[in-house]
Structure 1
Amino acid sequence: MLGAVELGGTKIRVARGGGDGRIEAGETFATVGPDESFARILDFFRGGSPIDAIGIGAFGPVAVGRGDADYGRLRGTPKPGWRDFDIGAAMGSLGVPVAIDTDVNAAGRAEAALGALAGLDSGIYLTVGTGIGGALIVGGSPAPGASHPEMGHVALVRAPGDDCPSVCTWHQNCAEGLASGPAIERRFGASLSALPDGHPGRALIAFYLGQLLASLVLAAAPRRIVIGGGVAKTPGLHERAHAAMLRSLNGYGLYPGVEGPDFVVPPALGDDAGLAGALLMAGACRP
């Protein structure tokens, strides 16, 4: 039996399951302060069947390199109270191996093994929710690097007349600052899915996501892009973002498949991609 944690900016999901990504039982609760949140996480795993290892997919920035001196520690996160929190140390009392990665890397692993990226040599998993984050998956695993990617902070060109303040602490024109869930709430006072289908806000967010997708196509040439997260549940958003991406590319950088209807898709595993990926991580590090 293995454990999985999906540590999100708004909610936390915990589960037990198998090394094949199968989820057997779990709970969901709101993300509050780190001490209270991890007390609930530990309570879940101390009750019920013992686990042999645990995988954690966390919001970032977080140190994910096994060789990093601060492996498992949150870095410059804007979430109040969480900066420099040591996730690995917080889980130490369980006495089992712990694997830590970003939430999007965990979800990308699962989609590569079991979902929409299966059988592809490369792909991108993008989440659009409380924040925007992305994982570049190569050969079924996140591409190695000095740190994890920060795709949500790619700079965009604002639409004419758009002077709504960014919700990003660092950037005035990044994708997260302009098109994440909190950015949408600031703009329209409602979620994107709550806006009528013909509302100009839907076209605006698709315009911004299309720019981001175009940048990812030019930089990484993925076989497919999977977009998950709460904002991505808006009906028609994948198709609109794909069309906006093609307009942004303007005929350049195209390759086989990029114009097809299955290039920008929702996660095949739905909301369970992150937990399934965390279970896969746990299975890889168990004794």
Structure 2
Amino acid sequence: MLLGSIEAGGTKFVCAVGNEKYQIIEQETFSSKVPEQTLKETVEFFQRFPELDAIGIAAFGPVEVRLDQADYGVITNNTPKIAWRNVNLVKTIKDAIDVPVFITSDVNGSAYGEYVAAKQRGEKIDSVVYYTVGTGIGAGIVIDGHFIGALGLQEMGHVKVKRHPDDLAFGGLCPHHGDCLEGLASGPTFEARTGKNGKNVPLDDPSWDIMAYYLAQAAVQTTLTVRPNKIVFGGGVLSPKFLDMIRKHFDQELNGYVDIPPLDEYLTMPEAENNGSATVGDFELARKVLIAGEGHAFAIDR
């Protein structure tokens, strides 16, 4: 079985071909600045593998994943990546490579990869929530091998959070909601607050603690609504020290209200090898759509 993965990010596409053991046979990365060029390179990459059986796509978005919609597989008008608005990823790939295709959000793909990787390690796990914190914030949920959402993908980066008392003057950066989670805790908020790129802001700067406070609230909300086995934080902003800040605020906010595993097991960074959560997830989703057939956008049998 030969499986394809497209990790379609806002700055790059990571394309890979692998087997049912999630072992990468070949992988290439393309810039996603120009859609026409990116998709041409992506198609040409997979055309080198005539025995390819199926492709899983984990895409930035918002992307339409409901099969009964006319714009299924399309990056929608709400995407901040203006050049990608109304680009149909699924049709472009299927027109060039006639194999079953499964598409979901980038964070759903990563969540699925963490779910699969945990099972490979022998963990007794049936649910994972994955937050990515970078240019934006998004989250994916896997419960018992299924995604959730009847009307579309989750937009958990846009929930409202309680404001930090030292951050009340900051209006937030989200063009739709101002001070939602993404507007207050995504990577670009560093520059808005400090005038510096996040990678140049030392960890003792108060901005880190403020952002940890907001992300901890999101994790508490998820804990109380979904009750997952674990919550994974990934993305370019995360580091072990920053995660420790999130854990500290999470512990204070939850205040022992419900039982959870030890914090270092419950709130984690990605554990799939080589930062390959989405690729592992895509391989497994490609395998499942090959077996089940297309038409399983939200609930895929294990």
Give 1:94-243 correspondences, 5 Å limit: 94-115=97-118, 118-162=123-167, 163-232=169-238, 234-243=239-248
The corresponding residue for 1:89 is: 91
Query: Which whole-Å CA distance do the structure 2 matches of 1:192 and 1:211 have between them?
Result: 21
Distance 1:131 1:26 in 2: 25
Establish whether residue 276 from structure 1 lines up as the match of residue 280 from structure 2: yes
Partner of 2:290: 286
Alignment-mate amino acid for residue 137 of structure 1 = V
Q: Distance in 2 between matches of 1:240 and 1:193?
A: 17
Note the aligned Cα RMSD (angstroms). Answer: 2.1
Q: Deviations over 1:38-64 (max 9, x none)?
A: 112112112356422111000121122
Distance across 1 between alignment mates of 2:12 and 2:192: 20
Name the structure 1 match of 2:297.
none
Q: Distance in 2 between matches of 1:53 and 1:186?
A: 42
Q: Where in structure 2 are there 5+ consecutive unaligned residues? A: 292-302
How many Å separate the matches in 2 of 1:260 and 1:182? 28
Would you say the 8 A contact 2:188–2:198 is kept in 1?
A: no
Q: What are the Cα deviations for residues 151-173 of structure 1, in whole angstroms up to 9, with x where unaligned?
A: 11111222234233422220111
Q: Which runs of 5+ in 1 are unaligned?
A: none
CA change 1:247–1:192 in 2 (3 A) is: farther
User: Aligned partners of 1:119 and 1:9: how far apart in 2?
Assistant: 34
Read off the aligned partner of 2:175 and give its amino acid letter: T
SS at match of 1:262: helix
What secondary structure does 1:26 align onto? strand
- Which of 51, 76, 79 is the aligned partner of 1:77? 79
The 1:192/1:115 distance shift into structure 2, 3 A limit, reads farther
Q: Which amino acid aligns with 1:41?
A: T
Distance 1:191 1:119, change over 3 A: farther
Q: What letter is aligned with 2:125?
A: L
- Name the SS of the counterpart of 2:83 in structure 1: coil
1:24 to partner: Cα distance: 1.9
The aligned counterpart of 1:263 is 266
CA spacing shift, 1:183–1:273, aligned 2, 3 Å: same
SS in 2 for 1:130: coil
CA–CA distance in 2 between the matches of 1:229 and 1:112?
17
> Which whole-Å deviations, capped at 9, do the CAs of 1:108-167 have from their partners, x for residues lacking one?
111111138953122211111121111111012322432111111111222234233422
- What secondary structure is seen at the aligned counterpart in 1 of 2:160? coil
Deviates further, 10-19 or 188-197: 188-197
Identity of aligned residues (%): 35
Q: How does 1:21-60 map to 2 (within 5 A)?
A: 21-47=22-48, 50-60=51-61
C-alpha change, 1:98 and 1:138, in structure 2 (3 Å) is same
Number of equivalenced pairs: 284
Provide the C-alpha distance between the structure 2 equivalents of 1:150 and 1:100, rounded to a whole number of angstroms: 16
